Amino acid sequence: MEMLLIYEGILTVPHPQPQEIWVSNTRWSRHDGRWRPFNKPLSLASQRQALVILHGLLQWATDAHYLPANPATLLGKIPSSARQTVERYLPMAALSYLRQAVTNLPDHTTTAHARKTRAHFLLNLFYLTGARLHEVVGATMTSIRCDAHGHWWFHVLGKGDKPGKMPVPLALLESFTAYRIALSLPALPALTEDTVPLVLVRYGSSDSATDNTVYKIIRELMEQAARLAIADQQPELAQRLKLASPHWLRHSCFTHQVEANVPLKTVQENARHASLVTTGHYVHKNDIDRHRETVTALQKILNNK
């Protein structure tokens, strides 16, 4: 029980100690000796998830009679996540800065052009499909393919290796073909490319980019976009861009679909959520809209007194 309390304490402290054992500001591969479990304080949702996983593992050990009882029950009830709506998303203005950041990338050499088209493709892939990082890294060139009706889909293996697919809009297909042409490949993949990684580590290589490589590409775009926002005196947008990760693009994808009045059931299928309740977290009013609508309504009420 004492060890469980220590673990719970590690999860909840703002900066786990000692720093050199627990924290690294750089996202290293799990197989790298410099990998650390923390790169910033855990959110309440992440703390809850860690405790749920631990509770489930110890419950399995109890059911298998390795333990006489589940000691995690002594920690008390695991708190539910207080966040009811998704907040880690980017408004359209921030996405405009991201697109500008891609446009500003150098392309004076063949290698630089390939990097630029890869960055553009990845930005579109994450935002327009809502794919997760591991799904993108694990995909092959034929993961983007056309069905018998002429519709393009991005096929992935999601959580628990569960297959899923998301519609591919024209903008994504165009950036995909541009990326392939920059790699000196035909515009569209052949069926024999089912073992060729979708995201290559570099021009001229046949090796897949790692999750760390793809993460860094997106993060560098976020940093450059943040600088553009600062130059335009948009500190709030810059702050969101500085905090954002590839997963923010997933949240942005489905938040904007909901705001565009895409049916919630369709958004659920695109997001591959098991429950419509999870998809419902993307339903929320923009603060600017909510403020304007509320103040306008209250003013009308006062005027009618």
> Tens of pLDDT along 216-251?
999 999 999 999 999 999 999 999 999 999 999 999
Whole-number Å distance between alpha carbons of 38 and 28: 11
> What is the distance in angstroms between the CA of the first residue and the CA of the last residue of the chain?
62
3-state secondary structure of 92: helix
**Once rounded to an integer, what is the mean pLDDT over residues 32-42?**
73
Model confidence at 213: pLDDT above 80 = yes
- Confidence label for 111 from pLDDT (cuts 50, 70 and 90): very high
Do 241 and 227 contact (CB within 8 A), yes or no?
no
For 300, the enclosing helix (H) or strand (E) is helix 287-303
Check residue 275 and give its pLDDT: 82
- Confidence label for 51 from pLDDT (cuts 50, 70 and 90): confident
- For 247, residues 6+ apart whose C-beta sits below 8 A from its C-beta are 88, 132, 133
Comparing CA positions, the residue from 249, 250, 267, 245 lying closest to residue 258 is 267
Give the type of residue at 250. R
Whole-number Å distance between alpha carbons of 111 and 217: 15
Measured over the CA atoms of residue 61, residue 65, residue 71 and residue 77, the dihedral's sign is positive
Per-residue tokens: 193: 């490319």
In 3-state terms, the chain is what percent helix, strand and coil (to 5)?
55, 5, 35
* Domains annotated on the chain, with CATH: 2-75 (no CATH), 92-280 (1.10.443.10)
- For 273, residues 6+ apart whose C-beta sits below 8 A from its C-beta are 279
pLDDT tens digits, one per residue of 241-295? 999 999 999 999 999 998 888 888 899 999 998 888 778 887 765 566 767 777 7
Whole-number Å distance between alpha carbons of 3 and 1: 5
The pLDDT mean for the chain works out to 86
**Once rounded to an integer, what is the mean pLDDT over residues 165-170?**
94
Model confidence at 40: pLDDT above 80 = no
Burial of 24 (0-12, 13-18, 19+ CB in 10 A): middle
Confidence (pTM): 0.70
Model confidence at 88: pLDDT above 80 = yes
